[in-house]
Amino acid sequence: MTSKSHSVTIRQVAQKADVSVATVSRYINQNAPISKDVAERLKAVMEELHYVPHAVARQLACRKTRVVGLLLNNLHNDYFVPLLNGIESVVRKRNYNLVIATYHSNSRDMPPPIGPHNTDGMLVFSDGISDDDLTSLYIKKFPMVLVHRTPPKPLRIPSVTVENKKITFELIEHLIKVHGRKRIIFLRGPAHQEDSGWREIGYKSALKANGIPFDEQLILNGDFDRNTAYEVLNNLITNNKQVSFDAIFTGDDDAAIGVLKSLHENNYRVPEDVSVIGFDDLGFSAFLSPPLTTVAAPTEEVGRIAMEQLFSIFDKQFPGDATLLSTKLITRRSCGCNT
């Protein structure tokens, strides 16, 4: 039988993991490096014993930090500005402080930088943390809300995201029915990113519904990043001249910047030769040349609702499992429309 968390000591954790108490302390406090193998062993032992460090237990009981966190894997593009605006508006009203940290879920030699040791609860963006780490924090009853991600089963962690599949079907069908496009490139987002997965399902469904065969050669990995999108499209144009295309769904607006640059440098006219569509309707989208057809996603609202749900958990009110916000197609000249 596994010991209850309040009866397990740091010495017992050290003994079961076959390390010193000092090593366990370094792992918990993240104040000195330890090997990957030892970190993984300690994590497994602490989960098995349901061990919660004394300082963590006190913080969870008293909630004295008045700090909330946002954990994500990068802050590299303009998407995060409206998201942070929505989050910060709620944090400010509640007189809390916000800590933002990036973390790569394959960094197995150390635990996430935000958690029970320094915050009262946190938002987790997309794949900013592994399922194993989520499960560990869930077992400790640490308050969390997921953003653009659903929890692994059977965990009940609230999530907030936007509708992706239906709107992608609509925008691809718009390219097909309104502009006569049939060779449509789709730029995937980062691996394991749920938004990208749903958009790909919508893309394939629209092709099938309109009798257009799916072509794997028209799927590129754009990573929701302008530089990556620029490079992969350049590579296709330069090294795969036999692959024809007449439209590109860039995956998101940031990637659209790289796509437009590549098309311009390779003498493709937009929208005469190639229609281009993005996703998110970021602030710069209407000012690109040509103005970008895209999907209006309520990104600021996502941040605001997610943070409000985290505070609901603080107030002992479970906000529900999943919140799905609506999206809308915004037509501009990049797809061929005159608006």
Is the preceding omega at residue 319 within 30 degrees of 0, hence cis? no
pLDDT for the residue 108: 57
Structure-block tokens of residue 299: 């990104």
Length of the chain: 339
Q: Which residues, in sequence order, are CB contacts of 78 under 8 Å at separation 6+?
A: 253, 254, 282, 283, 284
pLDDT at residue number 83: 96
The DSSP bridge pattern shows strands 328-330 and 294-296 to be antiparallel
The pLDDT profile of the chain, 339 residues, written as one tens digit per residue, is 344 445 688 888 999 999 988 888 878 766 667 888 888 898 899 888 888 776 555 555 555 689 999 999 888 889 999 999 999 999 999 999 999 999 876 655 677 889 998 999 999 999 888 888 899 899 889 999 999 999 988 899 999 999 999 999 999 999 999 999 999 999 999 988 999 999 999 999 999 999 999 999 999 999 999 999 999 999 999 999 899 999 999 999 999 999 999 999 999 999 999 999 999 999 999 999 999 999 999 999 999 999 999 999 999 998 889 999 999 999 999 999 986
Q: Which of 243, 193, 246 is nearest to 222 (CA)?
A: 193
- Cα 98 to Cα 320: distance, rounded to the nearest angstrom: 23
pLDDT value at residue 5: 44
Q: What single string gives the DSSP state of each residue in 78-137?
A: TTHHHHHHHHHHHHHHTT-EEEEEE--TT-TTS--SSSTTT-SEEEEETTSS-HHHHHHH
Are the beta carbons of 121 and 158 closer than 8 angstroms? Answer: no
Helix (H) or strand (E) holding 247: strand 247-249
Give me the pLDDT at residue 273, please. 98
How much is the pLDDT for 56?
A: 56
pLDDT value of residue 244 = 96
Contacts of 178 (CB under 8 A, 6+ apart): 335, 336, 337
Confidence (pTM): 0.80
Largest separation between any pair of C-alpha atoms in the chain: 71
192 HSE (CA, 13 A, CB side): 14
